[in-house]
Structure 1
Amino acid sequence: MTPDLVRDVAVTSLAWLGARRKRFVLGTEALEAAGAVNSTWKPLGELAQVCSTVLRHTDPADPLHARATDLLAFAWDQTDQGELLVRQQRREPFATYPLEVYAAFASAGLRNDAFAELASAVARARGRQLVEQVPTRRLGVLFAERHCGRDTGASVPEVVDRTWLGGLAEPWTFERLSGYALTHVVFHLTDWGRGGPGVPPHLATHLTLWLPPWLDTCLDAGHWDLTCELLAVAASVPDPPDAAPDPGTLAAAWERIAAARCPSGAIPEEEEIRAGADDEPEFTWTYHSTLMAAFAAVLQGART
């Protein structure tokens, strides 16, 4: 693995995302009562989340910083500077996606006082506090509320202990769902690479030991999206997995990710999605993995 290769993945990924910003535009379906959240608000929030992290880890003179600034401003404009999130939260008071999307912007200093006030009021309602959520999602909501200036006092360690990673589930039970669950526990604890309480030492040790075989599993299966998320986790723990008995793990993974790129710079979620050497899969099956590649590459670059 060379810093130049990791840097190149970051550059080509962000360039691809910038060239396709129109695909992140919020259409009328995003504002409907039963809107398609996963294909409208979710991609926009993920774009904001990654751009916020890029800004934190790049110098203002870096072209990556300029591109992330531009994309973040575009995404914020899509929300009408947060006013559409206020509308959505009023319409669906117990939905958490407006809060989670807003938190991505707030982490970069983009705030809407009306939304923060509304979100804080909603969070005090028993109906919101008693919404049943899987532990990983609950963890994300807790940290999103903090970006709105509200600390519920909930015990983060207790929530973490109920997750697949925090409960130290048998490593051989790793599969797709548990993989995404563990990566998001790390992302929430590190505020997506921007700080946070960080990964507890015993979990960091566990990750350093087991990330190599989990990465190998994803690489063998051609699961590029989850591979990129695991690479972001590897850049978030104190001791890199290459310090484990299997040196070169990260180098091999980055080389495979770089090779998985389409000529345009897009990275398909899975190898089998790619139609052919010169074809680019549909945006739906490429945007998230390309975002995660940029995210992981910037974290790794900052670490290097």
Structure 2
Amino acid sequence: MRRTVRAVQEAALRWLSRNRAHFLLGDGALAPDGRVNDSWKPLGELAQVCSTLCARTPPSDPVHSCARELLAFAWRETGEGALFLPLQRGEPFATYPLEVYAAFASAGLRHPGYERAAATVAATRGWRLTEQHPTRRLGVLCAERQIGLHRDDHESELLARTWLGGLPEPWTFERASGYALTHVVFHLTDWGRGGPGPPAAVADHLAHWSPAWLVTCLEAGLWDLACEVAAVAALVPTARTDAAFEAALGETWPRIARAQYASGALCEVDTRMPQAAPSQEAVPRDEGAPGPDGHGFRTCYHSTLMAAFAAGLTLARWDGLCDEPSPSWMTTGVPG
């Protein structure tokens, strides 16, 4: 099984490396009407995943080297942090600049000027009183924590207002709640790099029910969500001796490996499943190599990132590394 997980991870990282040009911000990244979801969001997600892979793999591992190279590429694309200043000035109360920056900061890549500007904005009543859903608020608190800002919000109260924090009936799990619960866990664990973690009752709830939720995603061909739930599973501390939990993980990786294209790309959903209409071909088309319009990249990049992310956390869990604080090399930065 370990060989299968590793193969999925390495193939995903190869695809991401080959397609790094599609993570470039582009000329419109700082435009007032810029399309954030096509510029900063993919780059931030690349940084987030690579920061975690750097934290949870030893420097001697080729995966660590690949993740460091991709992280260095992403950091250079931000002007080594300099582009966050005009981005923040253009949208002072937007949270995504801080959230993207925090992914780099967690790997020791810092821009003091931006951090001073972010701290000034974060100290305002306007920033503190911005209305957000609890899950999103947890994400902002996670980003603030990673750059050393601490707000007087009570995470336990925010958590209680999320779907996962309310300990919902397990049969109410569906696609939207699935993505909500995974991001709650990612925010509480600083994307697998530390953080306060979920409280015992929430961890027990996840340990008990995430195997069934994971199998549900696999049976529906929801590869992107399945990888996110598998990543959560790797972060649940109370599940280590749970046979059902281990069986679910054992079923996950062969199915993800079969769904992964030879290129290393993984589509968000199985194109053979009814919910993936209108494309319901007998054999899925490999869109890992983007066409002129980047269509293949857009439909594959996030799930491919999540495959590498979940695989890294799964391997780290088996090696006992998810219990360790981020190692010392994470504070030294990434060479350009």
Q: TM-score range by the shorter chain?
A: over 0.9
CA distance in 2: counterparts of 1:238 and 1:96, whole angstroms: 30
Match of residue 84 from structure 1:
83
- State how 1:8-157 maps to structure 2 within 5 Å: 8-157=7-156
1:280 aligned onto 2:287: yes
Secondary structure class of the residue paired with 1:207: helix
Report deviation, 1:40: 0.6
Contact preservation (8 Å) 1:120, 1:148? no
| Deviation sequence 1:174-196 (CA, Å, 0-9, x none) | 11111001001111111111111
The residue aligned with 1:292 is 306
% identical aligned pairs: 57
Query: What SS does the corresponding residue of 2:83 show, helix, strand or coil?
Result: helix
Matches within 5 A, 1:153-302: 153-240=152-239, 243-245=242-244, 248-272=247-271, 276-277=283-284, 279-280=286-287, 282-302=296-316
Q: Residue 290 of structure 1: SS of its match in structure 2?
A: helix
Q: CA deviation at 1:303?
A: 1.2
Q: Deviations over 1:102-156 (max 9, x none)?
A: 0000000000001111111101111111111110000010111122221012111
1:53, CA displacement in angstroms? 0.5
Mark the CA change 1:246 to 1:59 in structure 2 (over 3 Å): closer, same or farther: closer
What is the distance in 2 between the residues matched to 1:242 and 1:267?
A: 30
C-alpha distance in 2 between matches for 1:302 and 1:180? 22
Counterpart Cα distance in 2 of 1:162 and 1:226: 22
TM, length-normalised to structure 1: 0.96
Hey, which bits of structure 1, 4+ residues long, moved more than 2 A?
239-242, 244-247, 273-279
Distance 2:234 2:88 in 1: 34
Distance 1:236 1:124, change over 3 A: same
Q: Distance in 2 between matches of 1:168 and 1:207?
A: 9
> 1:28, 1:241 → 2: CA distance?
47
For the 8 Å contact 2:207–2:245, the answer to whether it is kept is no
Letter in 2 for 1:280: E
CA 94–248 in structure 1, closer or farther in 2 if over 3 Å, else same: same
- Letter aligned with residue 249 of structure 1: A
Question: Compared with structure 1, are the counterparts of its residues 245 and 251 closer, same or farther at alpha carbon in structure 2 (3 Å cutoff)?
Answer: closer
8 Å CA contact 2:106, 2:147 repeated in 1: no
What root-mean-square deviation, in Å, do the aligned CA atoms of Structure 1 and Structure 2 show? Answer: 1.5
Aligned-partner residue type, residue 104 of structure 1: A
The TM-score with structure 2 as length reference comes to: 0.87
Q: Which of 118-127 and 15-24 deviates more?
A: 118-127
Separation of aligned partners in 2, 1:197 and 1:279 = 40
Distance in 2 separating the partners of 1:294 and 1:205? 26
Deviations 1:1-49 (A, max 9, x none): x111111111111111001000000101211101101111000000000
Give the Cα–Cα distance (whole angstroms) in 1 for the partners of residues 316 and 122 of structure 2. 35
- Residue 4 of structure 2 aligns with which residue? 5
CA contact (8 A) 2:239 2:245 kept: no
Deviation digits for residues 219-249 of structure 1 (CA, Å, limit 9, x no counterpart): 1110000000000000000133771547521
* SS at structure 1 position matched to 2:235: coil
Kindly provide the amino acid, as one letter, of the partner of residue 295 in structure 1.
F
Structure 2 unaligned blocks of 5 or more: 289-295, 319-336
Q: Distance in 1 between matches of 2:241 and 2:301?
A: 28
C-alpha distance 10-113 of structure 1, shift in aligned 2 (>3 A): same
Could you tell me which runs of 5 or more consecutive residues in structure 1 were left unpaired when the two chains were aligned: none
CA contact (8 A) 1:211 1:241 kept: no
Q: CA offset at residue 277 of structure 1?
A: 4.5
